[in-house]
Amino acid sequence: MNALLDVILPVFLILGAGYFAAWRKIVDAAAIDGVMKFAQNFAVPCLLFRSMSTLDLAQSFDPALLLSFYIGALSAGALGYFGARLIFARPPADALAIAFVASFSNTLLLGLPITERAYGAAALAGNYAIIAIHSPLLYAIGISLMEIVRSKGQGLPKLALTRQVLSAILRQPLVIGIVAGFAVNLSGLTLPGAMSSAVDMMVKAAIPAALFGLGGVLLRYRPEGDMKTITFVSLLTLVVHPMITYGLGKLFGLTVDQMRSAVLTAAMAPGVNAFLYANMYGVAKRVAASTVLLATAATVVTAWGWLHILP
């Protein structure tokens, strides 16, 4: 019970405050969008920049850690795709969007604060290693597969497809923050004092602003049908992905901190980016939006369970 009260509920209280504020129209949709844009385009990239610029790269980017998480993510995505095709008879494009939702955990806005509250800031190195390649890797796979499916019979040149994939990835502020952090880390440069202080101020605002904004955004994603598919995808992201990661973590001999980072991150609900991917292509939007909402609510219980299982 202490884990629920001390670790998980504070995160969801901030998220719930954003939901309540949007529901009661204390803040309007434009204000919520502004908070999210501030968080995703400025504050969170600063957080990632700061983290990547100071991370011990040799120690944190352990192949066993990354394989444990990403084999689990891609396995959940594959099960989502074939389940959507074979069980729910969805067309290929819909199935790819559903697969993306099943594989795309909310590593940043849920995984990071819950892990920090549970185990402290010193335990986050594994989280940051996972986050560093999370969006670039899964977006590269998801966009490539979707463009291949959509371009069948259209003769889209491979060079045009490659440009589209790279452009979609490199324009993301989160990726820019990560790349800039790596550059500072590898070069050994240090920021001027005033700039470093400004970055630190932005970092302090990142997670609270992002959680509040996420709560407001979730008000828009109301469940409307497709409940069997939504339940199926929620189970993949909240149960199957962390189970596979946990098993592989045991097999690969992850340290206690690595196991905590990998499994808790894997156990998070899909992030809003999962809906944005479906919305970008206009496929499976209802499944994606409703899964983000319902799985986020269910994370209160499932994350509590994983905190009891983990060492």
Most confident range, picked from 9-18, 70-79, 136-145: 70-79
pLDDT tens for 160-175 read 767 766 777 777 888 8
**Global pTM?**
0.85
Is the backbone of residue 25 left (phi > 0), alpha (psi -120 to 50) or beta?
left
Mean pLDDT of the chain: 89
Full domain range(s) for residue 75: 2-309
Looking at 101-105, 119-123, 256-260, 265-269, which range is the least confident one? 119-123
- Which are the contacts of 300, defined by CB distance < 8 A and separation ≥ 6? 4, 8, 9, 12
Overall number of domains in the chain: 1
Distance CA 229, CA 166 (A): 31
**Residue type at position 63:** P
pLDDT value at 7 more than 90: no
Rounded to the nearest angstrom, the gap between the alpha carbon of residue 141 and the centroid of all alpha carbons in its chain is: 15
CB 84 within 8 Å of CB 90: yes
Statement: residue 179 has pLDDT above 80? yes
Phi, psi of 152 (to 5 degrees): -60, 125
**What CATH number did the domain enclosing 291 receive?**
1.20.1530.20
Please name which of 295, 290, 265, 294 lies closest in space to residue 279, comparing C-alpha atoms: 290
| Alpha carbons 73 and 266: distance in angstroms, whole number | 7
User: 4-13, 55-64, 251-260: lowest mean pLDDT where?
Assistant: 4-13
pLDDT in tens, 204-262: 999 999 889 888 888 887 776 789 999 999 999 999 999 999 999 999 999 999 999 99
The pLDDT value given to residue 152: 66
C-beta of residue 94 within 8 angstroms of C-beta of residue 284: yes
Question: What is the helix (H) or strand (E) element at residue 65, kind and residue range?
Answer: helix 63-86
